[in-house]
Structures are given as structure tokens and as C-alpha cells.
Amino acid sequence: KFHDTVMNGAELIKPGDQIISCSFSATVCSALIQASAAGRSFAALIVDEQSQAQGLKYGEMMASALQAGGVGCDLVAEDRLDSIQGVSLGLVGADSVLSDGSLINGYPSLQLARTCFERQIPFYCLCESHKLASSYPPLPLEEGFDLIPATYVTAVVTEKGIISFP
């Protein structure tokens, strides 16, 4: 399942793309590494969150994993997100995908999704199908997590392909 999800995610990435992501997702990292290994040249930007939930800097973890996999990337401070230019694709993982297509993912996913939506930049979630949930989560969410409305999400990519929600 993981391999197929990674391969489907890598197919989203086209030569010349500027990808933006945040939080940490092994699936997103693997898809970017796979796309790079397939010879697609692209730029990767990772949002460096300023709040440190549980003392961890997930943006830095993601950037380190990408660099270890041979993918060059730049960290962008969360408060500079509005000034980013040239982004062609937003790509995040998910802790859960709700039945209406909303996502639960690490902070600052909501801010990133909203920015992509406002700029009409496609925003995809990449995760395995076992993360598709049938019910709503208990609210409030745990600290460090965001609820991203389905209206901000272009589609969810799993090992089964692309899933769009109404």
C-alpha cells in the first residue's frame, strides 16, 4: 500500500513544479524523493512552524529527511507564507481524512491549505486509504493539529488513486 501511495503521489509532481509542504509526512517525503529519482526537476519548500508542539520542529524534520534522500529544499518561516511566490502545488500528508474530505494534519496545515486555496494553487493530501475515517474526530483536536476543511483540498491521493470529495 505504502509503495503504491508513494508512486501515485510522485505522479502529481511535474518538471519545474515548486512544491510546498509542512509538518512531517514520510509518505510525502518518499513521493518527493521518488519524483526526484525519476528525473523530475522541481523545487521544494517546507514551512518551518514557529510553535513547537511537544518540542518538535516537524518542518525541520521533513527538510532533513528530504535532504537525506537527495532532494534539495528550502525552509520557509511560517510568518513568511503570504509572501511566497511561484508555488504550483501544495502537498501534505494526513493523520486522518474525514468522511466529508476534511483532513486532520499537523500544524500549520490549515494556514498552508488556506493560502493555497486563496491563490488557486492545487492542494493535495497524500496518505494510505486506512487513514480514511468514517466519523468526525472528538473536538477540540490535540495541540499541534489542524482541521482542514474539504473545500481547501483538491483531492486525496491513496494507493487506490485520486479520491475527490463533493
Q: Split the chain (166 residues) into runs of 10 and give each run's mean pLDDT.
A: 93 96 95 96 91 71 94 91 91 92 92 96 95 72 86 96 88
pLDDT at site 58: 86
Please tell me the total count of domains within the chain. 1
Is residue 102 within 8 Å of 123, Cβ to Cβ? Answer: no
Neighbour-count burial of 88, counting CB atoms closer than 10 A to its CB (0-12 exposed, 13-18 middle, 19+ buried):
middle
Residue 73 belongs to a domain with what CATH number?
3.40.50.10470
At 39 the pLDDT is 95
Q: Give the pLDDT score at 89.
A: 97
Residue 8 sits in which domain range? 2-163
**Of 95, 114, 100, residue with least CA distance to 53:** 95
Give every CB contact of residue 99 below 8 A, 6+ residues apart in sequence: 132, 133, 134, 135, 136
pLDDT of residue 11: 95
Residues 87 and 76: their CA atoms lie apart, in Å, by 12
Q: How much is the pLDDT for 126?
A: 97
CA angle 113/114/115 to nearest 5° reads 90
